Amino acid sequence: MAHVTSITLPGGLKIGQGQPCFIVAEVGNNHQGDMAQARLMVQEAAKAGVQAVKFQKRHMESLLTRAGREAPYTGANSFGPTYGAHRNALELSVEQMAELKELSESLGLVFFASAWDEVSLTEMLSLGMQVIKICSADVVNVPLVRKVAESGLPVILSTGMSSLEEVDTAVNIIRARHDNLVLLHCNSSYPCQEEQIGLPVMDSLRERYNLPVGYSGHERGLAPSVASVALGACVVERHFTLDKNQVGTDHKASLEPAELATLVRMIREVEACMILKGKKVFPEEQAAAKKLRKCMVFSRDLPAGHVLTAADLTTRSPLDGISPVHWDEVLGAALVRSVKLEEPLQWEYLALAGRQASAASLSK
């Protein structure tokens, strides 16, 4: 298969190698089914500096069996007496999603969603999204993956709870139609323990599929997400909440607005740190070297004609004479003038014949 380094959204935005990390605030269902809260979350995500907000869409009759819908669901995080009622309470209509898309785009954000069933997929595609998400739960859902691929939209595919062979199946279905695909390394535990995150898996995914790879994090903190960027993640997706203490299973593994803003800032700092590829001494360092590095100075008064030994020299700051990197070169040389204690050694004090000019050019 072709080696793909980036994908291009219909609006022209590129995601991948050589591009700024595409940072996604995963709203999911953390809006609690409340449209006012959903709007506020979009606004707060924009203030934090992300590039995109992501929602989730479900149609219960298409997603769950009747038994699944009618199963009792009365725990601390329940929004209804049955699982179907609970899930419906957290849903927004396609019309509300359209309003949120308009709000998001007015704030410069990419709006997209994961559709958990075919009805939801049809609804979300009707909104004209620039990219579609396949959640980890549906990596093995061949008919849904096929319909996503047939839409022609760029795809972001999370790989949580999936073996490589299962990821193979989804990738092959999509790439049979197009190569606009980004994979997200993901562990679907909420929250995920650090020992199970496995950031080096991103390298394995890149090598296996020759596709752009990002990271969908469910950890409590920020460090793994920031580190993923240093390891080449072109997308970072984190769940987002206005308050971690709200009712719901996702909130504890989500970032509040201030944390999300901090994550964005840290990711941009890491990206800036990755620009320079080769070792370079900058002018600011050269100024520091002049002050902090040492030169060779005389450890005692010496007469002209004296042949230098190690006992005649020591090192002191600032760098006003020959650098001690040339220590071995000057030993055995004769002085052409008398010198004083702690006087910095200069090349012109030494009888070094032809070596003097070339060594002098390396001294500072």
Same domain, 303 and 201: no
Same domain, 220 and 330: no
Quick check: is 94 in a domain? yes
Global pTM value: 0.87
Supply the DSSP string of 249-294, one letter for each residue: SSGGGSB-HHHHHHHHHHHHHHHHHTS--S----HHHHHHHHHHS-
The CA-atom distances, in angstroms, between 316 and each of 54, 290, 341, 344 are: 60, 12, 12, 8
The CA-atom distances, in angstroms, between 214 and each of 17, 24, 232, 264 are: 10, 11, 8, 15
Q: Which of 273, 292, 319 is where one domain is finished? A: 273
Quick check: is 349 in a domain? yes
Same domain, 84 and 200: yes
Quick check: is 332 in a domain? yes
**pLDDT tens across the length of the chain (364 residues):** 689 999 999 989 999 999 999 999 999 998 999 999 999 999 999 999 999 999 999 999 999 999 999 999 988 888 999 989 999 888 999 999 999 999 999 999 999 999 999 999 999 999 999 999 999 999 999 999 999 999 999 999 999 999 999 999 999 999 999 999 999 999 988 888 899 999 999 999 999 999 999 999 999 899 999 999 999 999 999 999 999 888 877 788 899 999 999 999 999 999 999 988 899 989 898 999 999 999 999 999 999 999 999 999 999 999 999 999 999 999 999 999 999 999 999 999 999 754 444 444 444 4
Same domain, 211 and 75: yes
Residues 80, 73: Cα–Cα separation, whole Å? 7
pLDDT per residue over 177-189, tens digit each? Answer: 999 999 999 998 8
- For residue 353, what pLDDT is reported? 53
Same domain, 309 and 246: no
- For residue 136, what pLDDT is reported? 95
Same domain, 261 and 297: no
Which CATH number do you get for residue 318? 3.90.1210.10
Residues 235, 245: Cα–Cα separation, whole Å? 27
Same domain, 208 and 340: no
Same domain, 21 and 112: yes
Quick check: is 1 in a domain? no
Handedness of CA 33, 35, 40, 41 (dihedral sign): positive
Helix (H, G, I), strand (E, B) or coil at 10: coil
Quick check: is 278 in a domain? no
Same domain, 148 and 221: yes
Helix (H, G, I), strand (E, B) or coil at 26: strand
Full residue range of the structural domain in which residue 328 is found? 283-360
Q: Give me the number of domains the chain comprises.
A: 2
Same domain, 328 and 183: no
Same domain, 253 and 335: no
Helix (H, G, I), strand (E, B) or coil at 8: strand
- For residue 335, what pLDDT is reported? 97
Quick check: is 150 in a domain? yes
Same domain, 51 and 184: yes
